[in-house]
Amino acid sequence: MKRVLILAYFFPPLGGGGVYRVLSFVRHLPAHGWSCTVVCAGAGDYWVSDPSLAASVPAETEVLRVPGGSALSAWLRLRRDDAGGRRSARAFASLRSLSSWWWLPDSYVGWAKRAERIARERAARGDIDALLSSSPPDSVHLAARGVARATRLPWVADFRDPWIAGHFLRSPTPWHAARQRALEASVLGEASLVLAASRTHADLIPAGPQGRARAVLHLPNGFEPAPRAAVQRDADHFHVVFTGQLTLMDDIATLLDAVARLLARDPGARAVLRVSLFGPYDRDGATRARALGLDGVVRFTGLPPHAETRAAQRAADLLLLWRPHGDGFRTMVPGKLYEYLASGRPLLALLEPSDEAAELVRRAGGEVVAPGSAEVLERALAERLARWRAGERPADRVPDWLGGHTREHLAGVLANALDDVSAKARA
């Protein structure tokens, strides 16, 4: 059995979308000949947690926790603004903007230096065959780069999202932007293999201005098949469900305004419409919902156990999907999309029509509407609600092609890639 040393900040009991990909690696790689050692954050080093996920970590997985977290997380804890899966959007946004001046590539760089030391000590024992780092945060790749330079082990750099400061966040000065490009180029150029979670991102990497990778593999996000137990749906209410990260999402306001418009035009909808938002959220969104008079219709749950969110997906009459606005985010295919498709429930996505995620939604029979317009979303919701009132109850519809996106299958693809880079390193 070969062993891969994985550097990833997010790992159970931490919660949120960044956890599931690496968790799937440790769950399924051993069946393909790779045991796993994970260097990750401390158990309390993020404002979102899901202790139920810890039971999914195989007992044979070696977990080395590096406590301390990011500087930004420490600031938030000092302000007591992060608790129960909710926080202040204004406090977080201002702190993140300030942090971009002082920490490169991100506020996790101090943690990454400590993680590199622990990873190098572990690699010195001599039984590691390959390294894998998974971002965000991008600092983990710098830690893995240091380990790879010191040990000459083959290194796979996994990008769940593109380099954050190059795509999603604006650097405060040209000097900062140049430093970010140089750091990204060093990762792309030195890694034995680069993984990208979206086809759009994978296609951009070889020709990108930041440098060329030696090899690139598109390894999409996937899903764990849920038990197909009978689902008891609420016959008296039309349930609209979103699961996932709600923080700093522009279309939260779009949704709330759309629901308020719908209720103003159709007061009777208040008795039957229920909108449940499962995931970490900004207090600003809940405050806006109350100001619009949406109590009893819109519910912010925080982050319940993941099994509960999967059950909510399967019980929904309509699932909602969106992502942050901006050209930089068009490379992003939200990981929850695959869970949505596996549920078989009707899907409405607020995406640009040309996005890769929008193409997947349409391919699965879902509907795509333009993001950012409460009027457009109101019409779409009103149409679905009218069909439900008329007695329409769509059967579950799971795309045939989704079987190629189970996390077990994708771990097999990754295992083959690890076999390849480790064989080349030995040659």
User: Over 60: is that where the pLDDT of 312 sits?
Assistant: yes
pLDDT of residue 133: 98
In this prediction the pTM is: 0.91
Q: What is the mean pLDDT of residues 163-187?
A: 83
Which helix (H) or strand (E) segment holds residue 76: the answer is helix 71-79
List the structure tokens of 336.
């929850």
CATH topology of 2-221+406-426 equal to that of 238-401?
yes
* Residue-range domain boundaries for the chain: 2-221+406-426, 238-401
Q: 227 or 38: which carries more pLDDT confidence? A: 38
178-212: pLDDT as tens digits = 999 899 999 999 999 999 999 999 998 865 555 56
13-57: pLDDT as tens digits = 999 888 999 999 999 999 999 999 999 999 988 888 999 999 999
Domain 238-401 has CATH 3.30.70.1450: no
271-285: pLDDT as tens digits = 999 999 999 888 888
pLDDT band (50, 70, 90) for residue 168: low
Which helix (H) or strand (E) segment holds residue 193: the answer is strand 193-196
pLDDT of residue 80: 41
Q: 259 or 86: which carries more pLDDT confidence? A: 259
Q: What average pLDDT is seen over the chain?
A: 89
Q: Which residues contact 184 (CB under 8 A, 6 or more apart)?
A: 105, 138, 163, 166, 210, 211
Which helix (H) or strand (E) segment holds residue 322: the answer is strand 318-322
Q: What is the mean pLDDT of residues 98-119?
A: 88
pLDDT of residue 87: 47
- Options 3.40.50.2000, 3.20.20.70, 3.30.365.10, 3.40.1010.10; CATH of 2-221+406-426: 3.40.50.2000
Q: What percent of the chain has pLDDT over 70?
A: 90
Let me know the angle formed at the C-alpha of 160 by 16 and 11, rounded to the nearest 5 degrees: 40
Residue 243: closest CA among 322, 297, 143: 322
Helix (H/G/I), strand (E/B), else coil: 277: strand
pLDDT band (50, 70, 90) for residue 332: confident
Residue 241: closest CA among 207, 269, 278: 278
pLDDT of residue 399: 95
Is residue 280 within 8 Å of 16, Cβ to Cβ?
yes
